[in-house]
Amino acid sequence: MSFVQEAMQAVMKKAIALAPDGWIPGGHPDPLMREKHGLIGASISRIDGPLKVAGQARFAAEFPMEGLTYAALRHSTIARGRIVSLDTTQAEAAPGVVLVMTHLNAPRLKPTPPFGSKPQAAGGDDVPVMQDDRIHWNGQPVAVVLAETQDQADHAQSLIRVQYEVQGGVTSLDAARAQGPEPGKFQGELLKVEIKDAEALFAAAPVKVDAVYRTPPHNHNPIELHAATLAWEGDELRVHDATQAVAHAAWTLSQVFDIKEAQVHVTSPFVGGGFGSKTLWQHQILAAAAARLAGRPVRIVVSREGVFRIVGGRALTEQRVAIGAQQDGGFDAIIHTGLTVMTPHNAMTEPFIVATRSAYAAKSFKLEVDTVKLNMVANTFMRAPGEAVGTFALESAIDELAAELGMDPIALRSRNEPEQDPTNGLPFSQRGVEQAWKTGAERFGWETRNATPGATRDGDWLVGVGCATATYPYYRMAGGAARIILDRTGRAVVEIAAHEMGMGTATAHTQVVAERLGLSLDQVEFRYGDTAFPGLVLAGGSQQTASIGSAVIVAHRTLVTELLKLAGNDSPLAGLKPDEVGGLDGGLCKLDEPGRCESYASILARAQRETLTVEGEAPPPLELQHWSMHSHGAMFCEVRVNAITGETRVSRFLGSFDCGRILNAKTAASQFRGGIIMGLGLALMEDAQFDERTGRIMNPSLAEYHVPVHMDVPEIEVMWTDEPDPHAPMGARGIGEIGITGVGAAVANAVFNATGKRVRDLPITLDKLL
Amino acid sequence: MRLTINGRQVEADVDVRTSLLDLLRDHLGLPGTKKGCNQGACGACTVLADGERINSCLALAVQYDGREVTTIEGVGAPGALHPLQRAFVEHDGFQCGYCTPGQICSAIGMAAELERGLPSYVTGDLDAETIELTHDELRERMSGNLCRCGAYNGIVDAIRETFGQIAEDAGKREAA
Ligand code: FES
Ligand code: FES
C-alpha cells in the first residue's frame, strides 16, 4: 500500500469512528432484537434433524453421477525441491485405471488466488497446482489417478515411481528463526500495538509475571473427510463440494480454470464439520482438472492422512506474556509478543494477540506477532484463529498474576475491566462480561474453592478448579445478499449462498425470517448452500449469522416497500411508510395500531401477483470501525489429576456467555459445548507432531492425533445473558468460535490449583505433571 | 456374493479388496453409513452385522457373504424414526450430523451388549448379572464413536432416555 493510500485509509477509519451512529449499519437497532416471546431464542429442534439421524442428508461424496470415476492422490515425500523422474507406466496399466495425471499432462491452470488476495478468494495457498516439477511442501500432490473404483485408484497410485532432488527447505523452527522473523499481518493489518513504553512500565511495576507459553500445531479433523463430486458439462463445471464457502470456491475455481464465475456451479447442502478447514485446497482443483482431461465425472475423497498432508491446520505459537501491576491489581503494562509460523506460499498469520487488544485496561501495551516461514502445508484458520491459543497465554498469565497478588482471579479481571476499547478507543457496542462472571461463578460455586494449590485430594486424585475469560469479536464481512420470494399462499422462501456445517443455520434463520415476516415456521423455507443463490457469505469468523441477518434486513425492507406499493389505496395500509409497519400474523400491520393490517395473500391477490421477489445487499460492515464489538464468556473448570500417573480428567465445566441475543437456545447450547470440547482437546491432547527433519506430520490419523471422545467429556453446563447487542443484526453477535477460547487456560489454571504445577506448554499431557 | 441388508436380499460382485463400507456407499447406493477415517479410528462407519456393531471400513465385504447387515437406512426413516433417532433430534445429539448414523448404530449395538451382560473397562463387578447403564458405562462404551462437533452431551442424553430402561428391565427380570 502506498503512503497516500495508507493515509486515506486512516482518514476514512477516523471518519467512520466519529460519524453519527445513525449513519452506520446497526445505528438503528434491529426491531427484532427485543422480541421476547416469539420465535427468536426459542429452543427448536433442527429442521434437518430427521434427515441427519436417518442418514439421508446428502454430503459431497454422496451425489451420484453417471460414469463416475474415483480419484486417489500421490503425495510428495520431500519438503522442497523438484521431481526428477516420474514413472507412471505401471499405474496406467493397472486394472480399472482411467487416467494418471501429473504435471506432465495436467491442463494449464492459472495461479490459485489465495485467501485475502481478493474478497472472493478461497485458496489455501498460491502454489501452482501440478503445473511444474517443483515441490513446496512434504505432502504436495504429485499425481492423481482416476479409476473405475476407489480400490483400483488407491492401488494404482501406489505403483507410481517418483524420484526427487531435495533443494534446501526449512523444516525446523530454529532454522526458520535463523532466517529472521517478519511482522505478522491479519486481515490486512499489522499485528502490532504499542501504547506508551510498556517495557519501562513493566520494569517499574511492583508486581509482575513474565512467562513464555507454547501451543503446538493443531488440525481441524472434521469427521467428514474433505471431498467433492464434480463434472464438466460442456464448458461448465458442476461441483458438489464439502465447503464453508460456496461462492468463494466458485469464483476461485473460475480464476484457476480461466472461465466466467457463472460457469462454475457449486452446491454444498450439508457439510460434515469444517471449523475453518473446508475451503478450497488442491484436491478440488485437481479433481476438476482430471475430470476435464478424462472427460469423466470425478469423486475425490481425501484420505484421513491426506487431509493432514494437503489441508493446513493451526500453526504453532510461542508467546511471551508479561503483566506488570500495582498491589491493588491495576495493570501498568500488558506485553504479549511472540512468534508463529507460516509458509512462503500463504498469507495467514495465527494472530494470537487479537483478544489481548480489547480484553483489559492497562496503562501501556506492547502487542506484536512475528512470523517465520517453514516449508510445510499452508497453515490456515482454525476455530477462533488467534483467540483460541492467545487466550491460553493471556488468561494463564492473569491467573499467575492473581496468585502472585494473592487476589481472586475473577476480582483481578474485574479490577481491570475497561470502559472503552483499551487499544483503539472505540466505545463498546455492548459488554456484559461482568454479568457473565457473576452468574457463572454463582452457578459453579466458585466461592467454595480452596485457593491453595495441591490442597484438595480425593484418594489418588488431586482436585482443582480454574477459570478464564473467553472472548471472540463480532465480525461481518462484506458481500451478504439475500433473495426473498413471497407467494400468494403467504409462504416465503429465502435464498442465500450460506452454509450448514452443523451450526443450525437453516433452523435459526427459518426462525428469524418467520419472526420478521410474521409467519409460522412451516410457512418459511430457508434455502442455502448453492451458488445459484445470492451472496458472498463465508461460514467463518462466526460472521455467517450477521451476514445473513443484515442481508435479510435489507431485502425485507425492499419487500415491505414493494408490498405497500402493491397494496395501494384500497388497503387498510394505504398511506403508510415502511417504517410504520411490521410483519404480523401472515401480513403487514401498522406497528402502533395492530388492528390495521392486510395479509400478504390478500395484497398479492388484489395485485394479481403470484409471487413477489426481492433482493437485498447488506451494507458495508462499517459498524466494525465505529464500535468495539466483542462477545465474552466466563469459563469454569474442575479437574482431577491422578497423583500417581499424572493423568488429567475434566470432571466439571461451565461456560457462562455474553454473546448478544441467542437465536435458538437448543442449537446455541450445542455450539457452545462443541467449542468447549474442542478446547478440552486443545488443553489436554491435540498435537500435530511435525517432524523437523522431513517436514511431515507424523501422527496423521484419528488414532494418533487425539481428539476428545465420549469418556473425556463431562456434562458441560452452559448459560448466557441473552442481552442484545443494539448494533448487531437481531442483536446477535455470533457464537461459533467463542466456545473454544479460554478453555485451555481454564484447564491449565485448574491443573495448577490441583497440583501446584504451572504447565505453559500445551497439551497438558501426563509427562508434564510427573 | 449375497447378503441381507436392511431385510432385503442383495447380490453383489465385488473386488476382494472392497470394504463393507465401500460396498454400501459406492456400490449399493446406501451412503447413510459414513466414512470418517477408513482405518477403524472414528466409528462413523458403524453398522450392525448380525446384530453386533462393527466398523464397516475394517470389514471386507466378501466376509459378509450370507450375513445380515443393518445400516442407518434400516433403523428408521423420516416419518418413521426409531425412538433413538427421535431422541437424537430432541436432545440435539449432533450438529453436522456426519458421525450420527455411526453413533446411532453403535448405541443400538451397545444396548444389546449391555443386555447380554458384556462388561466394559469400567464395569466394577465382572460377575454381576446385570450392568447398570451409568454415565461412565455409557461414555466408555461409546468412546469408539468420535464426534468432532462435540455433541457428546446430547448423544448421552438421547441414549440414556432410549436405553436407560434396558438396565432397569434386566434388573427387574433378575428380581422376579
Ligand atoms: S470410517 Fe471406519 S472407523 Fe472411521
Ligand atoms: S455431529 Fe458432527 S461429528 Fe458428530
pLDDT digits (tens, 9 = 90+) for B53-100: 999 999 999 999 999 999 999 999 999 999 999 999 999 999 999 999
> Which residue in A645, A704, A713 sits closest to A676, CA to CA?
A713
* Chain pair A-B, CB pairs under 8 angstroms: 197
Touching check for A50 and chain B: CB below 8 Å?
Answer: yes
- Do A353 and A424 fall within a single domain? yes
Give me the residue from B39, B75, B92 closest to A45, CB to CB: B92
- Residue A8 in domain: no
Q: Which three-class secondary structure state does DSSP give residue B83?
A: helix
Q: Which secondary structure element, helix H or strand E, spans residue A589, and what is its range?
A: strand A587-590
Measured in Å, residue A501 CA sits from the centre of ligand 2 at: 9
Please count the structural domains in chain A. 3
The CB of B99 under 6 Å from ligand 1? The reply is: no
Give the chain B residue whose CA is nearest to the CA of A62: B31
Which stretches of A1-62 are DSSP H helices? 3-18, 49-53
Q: Which three cell numbers mark B136?
A: 461412565
State whether residue B42 is helix, strand or coil: coil
| Residue A447 appears among annotated catalytic residues | no
Task: Return the residue in A45, A46, A51, A53 with the most chain B beta carbons within 10 A, the one to mutate for interface testing.
Answer: A53
Q: Tell if the CB–CB gap between A715 and B153 is shorter than 8 Å.
A: yes
Q: What is the pLDDT along chain B (176 residues), one digit of tens a residue?
A: 999 999 999 999 999 999 999 999 999 999 999 999 999 999 999 999 999 999 999 999 999 999 999 999 999 999 999 999 999 999 999 999 999 999 999 999 999 999 999 999 999 888 888 899 999 999 999 999 999 999 999 999 999 999 986 555 544 444 44
Q: What is the CATH number of the domain that holds A399?
A: 3.30.365.10
A471 plus A547 within the same structural domain: no
Cβ distance of A701 and B154 shorter than 8 Å = no
Q: To 10 degrees, the CA torsion angle through A113, A114, A117, A121? A: 70
Question: In terms of Cα–Cα distance, which of A734, A501, A751, A732 is closest to A643?
Answer: A751
Residue of B nearest to A224 (CA): B36
- Cβ of A710 within 8 Å of Cβ of B36? The answer is no
Whether the CB of A150 is below 8 Å from some CB of chain B: the reply is yes
The answer to whether residues A596 and A647 belong to one domain is: no
- Ligand 1 near B95 CB (within 6 A): no
Classify residue A7: in a domain, yes or no: no
Closest Cα in chain A to B158: A53
Pick from A61, A151, A222: CB nearest B148:
A222
DSSP string for residues in A168-216:
----SHHHHHHT--EE-EETTEESEEEES-HHHHHHH-SEEEEEEEEE-
Residue A116 maps to a domain: yes
Atom index in ligand 2 nearest the CA of residue A223 equals: 3
Task: Note the pLDDT of residue A15.
Answer: 87
Predicted confidence (pLDDT) per residue in A663-674, tens digit: 999 999 999 999
CB contact under 8 A, A48 and B73: no
Sheet holding A481-487, edge to edge: A524-527, A492-495, A481-487, A611-617
Q: Which of B25, B39, B152, B159 to mutate to test the interface with A (most CBs of A within 10 A)?
A: B152
For residue A93, the domain's CATH number is 3.90.1170.50
Residues of B in contact with A715 (CB under 8 A): 135, 153, 156
Inter-chain residue contact A64 with B22, CB threshold 8 Å: no
User: Does residue A64 fall inside a structural domain?
Assistant: yes
Cell of A319: 508467546
In a domain, A45, yes or no: no
The residues, any chain, with a CB within 8 Å of residue A505's CB and separated by 6 or more, are A498, A499, A526, A528, A539, A544, A545, A548
Tell me: do A150 and A294 sit in the same domain. Answer: yes
End position of a domain, from candidates A290, A310, A330: A310
Q: Which of B22, B55, B98 to mutate to test the pocket of ligand 1 (most atoms within 8 A of CB)?
A: B55
DSSP letter string, A498-553: ---SSS-HHHHHHHHHHHHHT--GGGEEEE-SBTTS-----S-TT-HHHHHHHHHH
Q: Which of B46, B88, B95 to mutate to test the pocket of ligand 2 (most atoms within 8 A of CB)?
A: B95
B52 CA to chain A: closest CA distance, Å?
A: 19
Q: HSE on the CB side for A656, CA within 13 Å?
A: 22
B97 contacts A270? CB cut-off 8 A: yes
Q: How many Cβ atoms are within 10 Å of A180's Cβ, its own excluded?
A: 9
Q: Which residues pair with A214 in a beta bridge?
A: A318, A761
Q: Are residues A430 and A486 in the same domain?
A: no
Which residues of B fall within a CB distance of 8 Å from A671? 95
* Distance between B68 CA and the closest CA of chain A, angstroms: 19
Q: Which helix (H) or strand (E) holds A648?
A: strand A648-658
Comparing alpha-carbon positions, the chain A residue that sits nearest to B31 is A62
Distance (Å, rounded) from C-alpha A84 to C-alpha A673?
50
SS3 A12: helix
Query: What is the helix (H) or strand (E) element at residue B8, kind and residue range?
Result: strand B8-11
Nearest protein Cα to ligand 2, atom 4: B147
E strand or H helix at B5, and its extent?
Answer: strand B2-5
Last residue of a domain, which of A253, A286, A310?
A310
Q: Residue A273 and residue B79: Cβ atoms within 8 Å?
A: no
In a domain, A575, yes or no: yes
Q: Which residue stretches of chain A have pLDDT < 70?
A: 1-3
Instruction: Report residue A738 as a C-alpha cell.
Output: 467463542
Q: List, in order of start, the domains of chain B with CATH numbers.
A: 2-74 (3.10.20.30), 83-175 (1.10.150.120)
3-state SS class at A384 = coil
Q: Search chain B and give the residue with CA nearest A46.
A: B89
Determine the straight-line distance between the first and last CA of chain B, rounded to whole angstroms. Answer: 46
Whether residues A55 and B73 touch (CB distance < 8 A) is answered with yes
| Chain B residues touching A709 at Cβ < 8 A | 143-146
Which residues of chain A have a CB within 8 Å of the CB of B90?
45
Q: Are A693 and A173 in contact (CB under 8 A)?
A: no
d(CA A585, CA A599): 8
- C-alpha distance from B170 to closest chain A C-alpha (Å): 24
Contact A223 B72 (CB under 8 A): no
Q: Given B22, B81, B145, which is nearest A50 (Cβ)?
A: B81
Would A173 be classed as within a structural domain? Answer: no
Same domain, A612 and A667: no
Query: How do A364-373 and A331-342 pair as beta strands?
Result: parallel
Pocket, ligand 2, Cβ cutoff 6 A: A 223, 273, 502; B 94-100, 147-149, 151
- Which residues touch A187 (CB under 8 Å, ≥6 apart)? A116
Residues of A in contact with B73 (CB under 8 A): 54-56
Q: Pick from A261, A294, A310: which residue ends a domain? A: A310
Instruction: Please report, as a single letter, which amino acid is at residue B67.
Output: R
Angle (CA) A671-A674-A677 rounded to 5° is 150
- Answer whether A666 touches B (CB < 8 Å): yes
Q: What residues in B contact A301, CB-CB < 8 Å?
A: 35
Q: Round to whole Å and give the CA distance between B46 and B36.
A: 11
User: Searching chain A, which residue's CA lies closest to the CA of residue B104?
Assistant: A53
Do A615 and A633 share a structural domain?
Answer: no
Q: In this structure, are A524 and A540 located in the same domain?
A: yes
**Is the distance from the beta carbon of residue B43 to the nearest atom of ligand 1 less than 6 Å?**
yes
Would the CB atoms of A223 and B15 count as touching at under 8 Å? no
Nearest atom within ligand 2 for CA of residue A224: 3
A713 vs B100: CB contact, 8 Å cut-off?
Answer: no
**Residues A335 and A466 reside in one and the same domain:** yes
Nearest CA, atom 3, ligand 1: B40
Full residue range of the structural domain in which residue A636 is found: 317-475+625-769
Give the closest-approach CA distance of A294 to chain B in angstroms: 20
| Distance from Cα A223 to the centre of ligand 2, integer Å | 7
Evaluate whether A309 touches A208 at the Cβ level (below 8 Å): no
Regarding whether A665 and A565 lie in a shared domain, the answer is no
Single-letter residue type at A379: N
Ligand 1 center to residue A64 CA distance, Å? Answer: 22
Ligand number, closest to the Cα atom of B20: 1
**Are A611 and A508 within one domain?**
yes
Are A549 and A674 in the same domain? no
Q: Would A210 be classed as within a structural domain?
A: no
Q: What is the maximum alpha-carbon separation in chain B? A: 52
- Put simply, the chain B residues between 20 and 79 with a CB less than 8 A from any chain A CB are 22, 25-26, 29, 31-42, 44, 71-73, 75-79
Contact B155/A at CB under 8 A: yes
Q: Distance (Å, rounded) from C-alpha A266 to C-alpha A481? A: 17
The bound ligand whose nearest atom lies closest to the alpha carbon of A53 is 2
What is the rounded distance in angstroms from the CA atom of residue A120 to the CA atom of residue B64?
48
pLDDT at site A14:
86
> Whole-angstrom Cα distance, residue A144 to residue A149?
14
